[in-house]
Amino acid sequence: MSTSKPNPEAPNNAEGAAAAPAPTNFVREIIREDLRTSKYNGRVWTRFPPEPNGYLHIGHAKAIWLDFGLADEFGGGTNLRFDDTNPEKEETEYVESIQEDVRWLGFTWENLLYASDYFEQLYEYAVQLIKKGKAYVDDLSADEIRQYRGTLKERGKESPHRNRSVEENLDLFERMRKGEFPDGSRCLRAKIDMASPNLNMRDPVMYRILRASHHRTGEKWCIYPLYDFAHGQSDSLEKITHSICTLEFEDHRPLYNWYIRELGIFPSQQIEFDRLNLTYTLLSKRKLLQLVREGRVRGWDDPRMPTISGIRRRGYTPEAIRNFCANIGVTKTNGTIELAMLEHFVREDLNKRALRVMAVLKPLKVVITNYPEGQTEEMEAINNPEDESAGKRMVPFSRELYIEQDDFREVPPKGYFRLSPGKEVRLRYGYFITAQNVVKNAAGDVVEVHATYDPATRGGNAPDGRKVKSTIHWVSAAHAIDAEVRIYDNLFSNPDPGDVPEGQDFTANLNPNSLEVVAQAKLEPSLTSAKPGDRYQFERLGYFCVDPDSKPGKPVFNRTVALKDTWAKVEKKQKA
């Protein structure tokens, strides 16, 4: 007996599933048409129906954006309804995180509801169907039901209990509720058609016996409705006009409509769209839970996770996610979106809002030998060239600085224009400096560079008009604050994480280098006041966000995304 929802990875055999991609706004067009024909008297009401069995992920963001966005657009409203019919997997922690995530994405629900609030009503509906001769109590085991069900090629077989009298069914169903029978020994099934080409219509199970404590109803119930029996009826009770869900529910639509029709209740309309898939990313709560349970990540909100809480901690913005959702389109065929496209929208948004600062991740000390010892100058720096109102700040400059190890080469390769002996570069907002000689440790590594500066180049230009090919960032050694910086790479090395050799699971594709911890980064002192959640651009390095693990005097930063925009390249290639 399948206790929950369709498997999104299963092939879709409904009519029309393989049709050409619909226009990107086909859901909106359906709503427009319904408004034109006054199908629901001008009402547009949607719901977002998460099962509280895990944290929301970026795929849910697409559903949320559609449900809330479309209702908003047409002056309607959206219910947040927890589809909590699977007591064994559901927890209050998930209920709370889901609410926080929807709010963070920028959406407001009209009503906060639970399918479990309808348990009594759903029970009444079931009794109604029994009385109509449309439902019966079956004594077959879950395995037997599966065998009797048949296959796509083979019709199903009727259960020997299918023709019980209404009285007997009413009696047995009531006794199921009272707890007279052991778990799994009986169930209630809809009496539809064992020969239907749609397997979902072959007398689907409506209720199962299960002694499990429910996060809201506790021990009150020992029978629980199955998803298909709960979902449509909950929609109908809430007078949902457009019940938008993902394509794997398409085969379930005839059943959704059958229950509503047989019960004669409000005719909510189910509309299916393509679920979001992203390269290098798994969007399945079950698999994400496995990563958490097995300790492969630090938790649901690990910044490498595609959960809303993970990407929030990483520094993604709700605006970036909404822009991404608006751009990927809504269709009738499942596809896969490049992760680079999501990152592109994150970069685009952060470029507008993130303050620029200087930070050195892999420090190399530079001593400016002709700069007065003990002197400090304040250099004026621009906070955000994209936003004049962000203003300016002062950055201290002194005789000893840190630059990136990568910005110095004792023996520069061809085409290397950064610092090397005898070469001059510009220090951002500072002076031109020329490297003179190096200090090495016993192992022969360069540990310090000695350089000279040209006092006439303050602010970054030479009065004689001479040019330098490179501008590098720096931090004053005496003023720097130490920080831990966590650099993330894709959680999976394979663009399709589910693609594994036989006998292995998706964890075989985990990227062993998805987290690099830089323990001793040096930051400019203006970052002393940075608070968890604050986002910055570290010049030349990328966008970074303060992690809640930060302690006073020891901030921790997450790299949100590097500066390089691989999506722009992909897009260019696609256009060419």
Q: Which is nearer to ligand ATP, 78 or 509 (CB)?
A: 78
Contact 172, 166 (CB under 8 A): no
Q: Using CB under 6 A, which residues numbered 58 to 117 contact ligand ATP?
A: 59-60, 62-63
CB of 246 to ligand ATP, least distance (A): 4
What is the rounded distance in angstroms from the CA atom of residue 515 to the CA atom of residue 79? Answer: 38
Give me the residue whose beta carbon is nearest to ligand ATP: 59
Catalytic residue annotation: 51, 275, 285
Q: Closest distance between ligand ATP and the C-beta of residue 286, in Å?
A: 6
| 297 vs 305: CA distance, rounded Å | 8
Q: Which of 229, 397 has the CB closer to ligand ATP?
A: 229
Residue type, 13: N
Q: How far is the CB of 554 from ligand ATP (least distance, A)?
A: 36
Q: Which residue lies nearer to ligand ATP by CB, 59 or 542?
A: 59
- Per CB under 6 A, the segment of 181-189, 208-216, 254-262, 277-285 that binds ligand ATP is 277-285
Residues that bind ligand ATP (rule: CB under 6 A) add up to a total of 17
3-class SS of residue 495: coil
Q: Name the segment binding ligand ATP (CB under 6 A); options: 144-152, 198-206, 283-291, 493-501.
A: 283-291
- Shortest spacing between CB 531 and ligand ATP, in angstroms: 32
Q: How far apart are CA 216 and CA 223, in angstroms?
A: 14
CB of 51 to ligand ATP, least distance (A): 4
Interface region with ligand ATP, contact rule CB under 6 A, candidates 187-195, 216-224, 275-283, 563-571 = 275-283
Q: Which residue from 105, 283, 311, 368 is in contact with ligand ATP, where contact means CB under 6 A?
A: 283
Residue nearer to ligand ATP on the CB measure, 35 or 289: 289
Distance from C-alpha of 390 to C-alpha of 354, rounded to nearest angstrom: 9
For residue 260, give both structure tokens.
Answer: 């509503």
Crossing angle for the helix pair 119-131 and 253-263, nearest 10 degrees? 80
Is residue 284 close enough to count as binding ligand ATP by CB under 6 A? Answer: yes
Residue 351 CB neighbour total at 10 angstroms: 16
State which residue, 176 or 245, has the beta carbon closest to ligand ATP.
Answer: 245
Of 335, 207, 189, 316, nearest in space to 275 by CA:
335
Closer by beta carbon to ligand ATP, 247 or else 350: 247
Residue (79 or 169) nearer to ligand ATP, CB: 79
Which tokens is 449 given? 């560079």
What's the rounded Cα separation, in Å, for the pair 351 and 536?
A: 9
Quote the least distance from Cβ 215 to ligand ATP, whole Å.
14
Amino acid present at 574: Q
To ligand ATP, the closest distance from the beta carbon of 113 in angstroms equals 14
User: Closest separation between CB of residue 456 and ligand ATP, Å?
Assistant: 59
Per-residue contact track with ligand ATP, 28 to 67, x per CB under 6 A? ---------------------xxx-------xx-xx----
CA distances from 157 to 1, 160, 175, 198, 335 (A): 15, 9, 26, 14, 36
The single residue among 89, 208, 242, 285 that binds ligand ATP, judged by CB under 6 A, is 285
| Residue 575, SS3 per DSSP | helix
The beta strand positions in 66-170, using DSSP E, are: 77-82, 111-114, 135-138
Structure-block tokens of residue 275: 């679920």
Q: Helix or strand or coil: residue 429? A: coil
Q: Between the CA of residue 364 and those of 16, 244, 367, what are the distances in Å?
A: 62, 55, 10
Site map (CB under 6 A) of ligand ATP, residues 374-393, x = contact? --------------------
Residue among 247, 255, 254 nearest 271 (CA) = 247
Beta strands, E only, 83-204: 111-114, 135-138, 187-190
**455 vs 540: CA distance, rounded Å:** 25
Q: Between residue 245 and residue 274, which ones bind ligand ATP under the rule CB under 6 A?
A: 245-246
Tell me which stretch binds ligand ATP (CB under 6 A): 259-267, 280-288, 315-323, 457-465: 280-288
Site residues for ligand ATP per CB under 6 A: 5, 8, 49-51, 59-60, 62-63, 245-246, 275-276, 283-286
